[in-house]
Amino acid sequence: MSTERTIRLTGRTRVLAVFGCPVEHSLSPPMHNAAIAALGLDYVYVPFRVELDDLPKAFDGLRAMRFAGANLTIPLKQRALELVDGLTDNARRIGSVNTLYWDDGRLMGDSTDGEGFTRSLEVLRPARPERALVLGAGGSARAVCFALADAGVPVAIANRTRARAEELAAAVGPLADVMGLDEAGLRKASSEADLVVNCTSVGMIPEPDASPMPVGSLRPGQFVYDLVYQPRETLLLRQAAESGATAANGIKMLVWQGAASFQRWTGYWPDTSVMEKAID
Ligand code: NAP
């Protein structure tokens, strides 16, 4: 099996990294190292625990040691905006960097979350959504809302802190509006949406028995995309199954945003099934 090939380190091996805090539970090292092994490339992907205040020093190290690229995860994605040599338009408007790559000697910051969301949704549910309900207004919600609006899909945004939803809707433009997070508001928005995306951390370990949607608010014909992937089966996914909706957890988005980063670093589009098998 190609996924069982090992990585052989050489004097020329190029280092990729993920910086985060915590980083110990990241699925990115096995996912990327499986992709590297399957392609037989001379790279290795290594996790580094980096505290927020140490991020400038980590950038110095990455530059001095000529790392080939890196991912950034919680809580570093916003701080990185001011530490790169340049930003892609996408990272600038989302306000978040999850990928560092080199372009003509400049360390660039990009966000591949929106691309990961769009590409994985095309695989999971090829029909274009008519209208989406997005729960949340943090980093992943920003990536998802811009990606949906770019595809011409109207988006209703519901967030615990309403002001953040209003700010996001204003940034996204006329295709976005704001819904209340109260039960009546959620039921109404859900009845009008054929796509529901959970971009909050509600339902994530250590609180797997919480759901962002009221009981009985989902319906057949709807696709429910929970970006949470720890646990693999959230309460929201069980609610979707009970309501006759189809649903998926965040594993595929994780894989496809990783594949997009991998391409920035190596020039190769990796085998996403190899990456998924390495972490599922
Ligand atoms: P974030 O920027 O910190 O945003 C968190 C969002 O969750 C905010 O909208 C926040 O609302 C809301 N929230 C948190 N606790 C809540 C609660 N108890 N009740 C209601 N709303 C609550 O985080 P993020 O980076 O967007 O990540 C959000 C989730 O998506 C996480 O579970 C993460 O693992 C997952 N994710 C998955 C992928 C993937 O590839 N599958 C990629 C990125 C993120 P307020 O604005 O009111 O604080």
- pLDDT single digits (tens) 87-112: 999 999 999 999 999 999 999 999 99
Among the listed residues 97, 212, 87, 116, the one whose alpha carbon sits nearest the alpha carbon of residue 158: 212
Average pLDDT over residues 128-137: 97
Q: Mean pLDDT in the chain?
A: 96
> From its phi and psi, is residue 74 left (phi > 0), alpha (psi between -120 and 50) or beta?
beta
The catalytic position among 57, 77, 188, 277 is 77
Q: 6 alpha carbon to ligand 1 midpoint, in Å?
A: 35
pLDDT tops 50 at residue 1: no
Q: Encoding tokens for residue 165?
A: 């939803």
Q: Tell me, what's the pLDDT at 7?
A: 83
Q: Tell me, what's the pLDDT at 9?
A: 93
Among the listed residues 250, 271, 265, the one whose alpha carbon sits nearest the alpha carbon of residue 124: 250
* Strand ranges across the sheet with 43-49: 43-49, 14-20, 69-72, 99-103, 106-110, 86-87
Q: Tell me, what's the pLDDT at 280?
A: 83
H or E segment and range at residue 25: none
Q: 42 alpha carbon to ligand 1 midpoint, in Å?
A: 35
Q: Tell me, what's the pLDDT at 4?
A: 58
Report residue 76's pLDDT band, with 50, 70 and 90 as the boundaries.
very high
- Map residue 237 onto helix, strand or coil: helix
Q: Is the CB of 101 under 6 A from ligand 1?
A: no
Q: Tell me, what's the pLDDT at 6?
A: 80
